[in-house]
Amino acid sequence: MDHHHPSSFTHAHHRHQNSATISTESDGNLVSNIFTNYIKKALKETGPGMKSLLVDDFALAMTSNGMNQTDILKREVFAVEPLMMTSNKSKSKSLEKVVVVPSREEESLRFVKAVCILRPTNENVNALCERLRGGGNGTSTSSSYGEFHVFFTNAIDERKLRAIAKADARGGGNKVKQIQEIFCDVIAMDECAFVIDSRDCFKEDAMRAFDPNGGMRKRVGNNNSSFQRTNYEYALMCDPSWGVRNGTPLIDRCVEGVTSVCLALKRPPMFRYSAKSNIARRIAEDAQRVASEREPGLFDFGRRNDEGYCHVLIVDRFDDCVTPLLTQWTYQAMVHEIFGISSSNRVRAPDAQKLSKKPEEFILSSREDAFFRDHKYDDYGDVGAAVKKYVDDFANERSKTTASKSTASVDDVAKFVERFPEFRQKSATVAKHVQLVHTLSKVINDRQLMKVSEIEQELACAGTSVNGLEKQVEEIVNDPSFGESEKVRLVALYCLRRETEAPQICQHLIRVLSNHVGGKRIDALDCMLRRGGENARTSDLFGTKTIAARMRTSVSALKGAENVYTRHVPLVRSLVAQCVNGKLPASEYSPTWDGFTPECSKKPAEIIVFIVGGATYAEARAVAKFNASKESNNIKVTIGGYSMLHQSRFIENLANVFDEERGP
């Protein structure tokens, strides 16, 4: 077979059967471990010898979350290089967990193997072809590397494979040694959480954490002012029929991401969607077509039907607008809410004692940071106590080391030198968490978040009495010491809770609010109530629609909660519990598959929840806690969204949806 002929090249390097893909063994089918194993297997199958990892921006974030610099170097990778010179260099340079170098234009590296991990986009394929041909497009003046081993993060079509084959032939041939598909077309943010968007979601200015406007862009005046559109994620909260700019590409990207997770978990999928959501139905139906029509061979895992399906729930963000509005009190969620955690797990946080200095950048990774792994789901008080103990333990260890220096033997000195890197790393970790907790404490005090959060929890939790809370809400709205963010969120929560019981009070609070905040925030509130109100949403958000729901709510309220600030339980927790027990109503979460039967719904082998419009770390925590509970029946749940939301991003998205709905 002629390796360079386009058709023979395609058959040599492409696969249509699942058996030809890279297989991995995962720990409990956690997406983070699956993706890490994919990368390790890709590097292993390249064989021994020096390697350079060629990545796009997406693969750079995915790789940095899965492997650190030491892991990379152990596998003979001496550099991580952007595929294109136009890649996001600022992101690359600040990424601490992998070494990133600029593209080499003149240097010949014939003895080095290029391991390419790329999304199968037209842009990436064109850039790869330019490298293979040996020039042009600002990527490289020569193909440099002696071998190319290409791994695409999702299925690639025949047309693109033929283009790569032709480029390889024109560049001298026999450089592309293999092309494989590894299904990791999302970014694992946590053990059981993923996102699709690889762009940073930092707050624009870390100092805005101390802003009374809560890190949101301040807009004063009428509806002519607008939020700056730095991304088009809001298009996923619009009706597909509106024809929003970038709407269809974002829908397609969600389909690619969700189906890649199904393939990574190696379970035949069964898609279900929020019955009242057109965007959720569109994503679910498109994903079903991929699985049953476009790539049926990929989803044939040789499993019997009685082994169970992977239930994929496509949930509309408007089904639960409460969760992204609440003040968060667990460590990971608080850090994201106030500072923002990027897709590569980086945080930019100012030092509360040195506010004039540029914010520092930290890595918050469960894989790298044992303290963060152990305490990311703890509430604020427990984290503070844990940090204090961590500091005390480190101080004791340091004092023992210092005291023993004068009487240390040669062996003692040798042991100290051996442990010094670990000691220095622990010192940096201690300093990082002390600074984060100290800064969080200052933000909480400056913005009076504890007082606000008590009212939020009363409004958000089903089974609690909200009579009289309108007075407290109005007092805060009229109080200039509270920020716009807190005022908007309290009014929004009150209206979501009592829109049918007390519509006149809701309208009064909105009128009062409009005197204190910019017009775009009122637009966002209007959009939320129309699209996520009681008549529009699929779910029984407050547990009041049926007798059974009211009984469950009453029992839950009687049980109480350990912490008054963390009583609220996200809707997703109820959905996955119903799904595990086979009690999720098909009338509310409709199946796309004609062969759906009640018997199918009772046998989920795994569950994926994809929230259109973005997930939150509070929901990721709820899923992790569910997975660890007996209620899960050992059925693993994975949650994902286009991004991880924080309050200001959610409000901005709502305001932009309002603009699209209103039209030019």
- The answer to whether residues 372 and 238 belong to one domain is no
What is the DSSP secondary structure assignment for residue 297, as one 8-state letter? Answer: T
Q: Is the pLDDT of residue 26 over 50?
A: no
Q: Does any domain span residue 243?
A: yes
Q: Does any domain span residue 387?
A: yes
Q: Does any domain span residue 65?
A: yes
What is the SS3 string spanning 124-152? Answer: HHHHHHHHHHCCCCCCCCCCCCCEEEEEE
- CATH number (domain holding residue 428): 3.90.830
Residues sharing a CB contact under 8 Å with residue 578, sequence separation 6 or more, in sequence order: 584, 585
Whether the predicted model's global pTM rises above the 0.75 cut? yes
Q: Is the pLDDT of residue 34 over 50?
A: yes
CA–CA dist 176, 168 (Å, integer):
7
- The answer to whether residues 415 and 360 belong to one domain is yes
- CATH number (domain holding residue 38): 3.40.50.2060
Q: Is the pLDDT of residue 601 over 50?
A: yes
Chain segment 442-452, per-residue pLDDT in tens = 999 999 999 99
Q: Is the pLDDT of residue 90 over 80?
A: no
End of a domain among 532, 548, 582? Answer: 532
Q: Does any domain span residue 281?
A: yes
Q: Does any domain span residue 410?
A: yes
Name the residue among 373, 308, 336 with its Cα closest to residue 582.
Answer: 308
Name the residue among 284, 280, 327, 326 with its Cα closest to residue 536.
Answer: 280
End of a domain among 121, 149, 183? Answer: 183
Chain segment 347-404, per-residue pLDDT in tens = 988 776 665 567 788 889 888 899 999 999 999 999 999 999 988 888 887 666 655 5
Residue range 121-136: mean pLDDT, rounded: 86
Q: Which residue has tokens 């340079």?
A: 93
CA–CA dist 390, 379 (Å, integer):
16
Confidence of residue 248 (pLDDT cuts 50, 70, 90): confident
Please name the amino acid found at residue 333: A
Confidence of residue 244 (pLDDT cuts 50, 70, 90): confident
- The answer to whether residues 62 and 166 belong to one domain is yes
Q: Which residue has tokens 């009062």?
A: 512
Residue 47 Ramachandran class (φ > 0 left, ψ -120 to 50 alpha, else beta): left
pLDDT at 638: 96
CA neighbours within 13 Å on the CB side: how many for 605?
17
Range of the domain at 84: 6-183
Q: Is the pLDDT of residue 6 over 90?
A: no
CA–CA dist 449, 210 (Å, integer):
12
pLDDT at 193: 94
- The answer to whether residues 290 and 177 belong to one domain is no
Q: Is the pLDDT of residue 576 over 90?
A: yes
- The answer to whether residues 469 and 424 belong to one domain is no
Q: Is the pLDDT of residue 495 over 90?
A: yes
- CATH number (domain holding residue 600): 3.40.50.1910
Chain segment 206-217, per-residue pLDDT in tens = 444 555 454 443
Residue range 434-439: mean pLDDT, rounded: 91
- The answer to whether residues 175 and 32 belong to one domain is yes
pLDDT at 114: 92
Mean pLDDT of the chain: 80
- The answer to whether residues 432 and 471 belong to one domain is no
Q: Does any domain span residue 326?
A: no
- The answer to whether residues 604 and 644 belong to one domain is yes
End of a domain among 446, 477, 502? Answer: 446
> Which region among 18-32, 257-271, 363-377, 386-400 has the lowest average model confidence (pLDDT)?
18-32
- The answer to whether residues 37 and 177 belong to one domain is yes
- The answer to whether residues 510 and 604 belong to one domain is no
Q: Does any domain span residue 313?
A: yes
pLDDT at 212: 47
CB neighbourhood size of 567 (10 A) = 18
Q: Does any domain span residue 543?
A: no
- The answer to whether residues 111 and 125 belong to one domain is yes
pLDDT at 262: 92
Please name the amino acid found at residue 72: I
- The answer to whether residues 493 and 362 belong to one domain is no
Residue range 517-534: mean pLDDT, rounded: 92
Confidence of residue 84 (pLDDT cuts 50, 70, 90): confident
Domain count for the chain, please give it: 4
CA–CA dist 361, 347 (Å, integer):
5
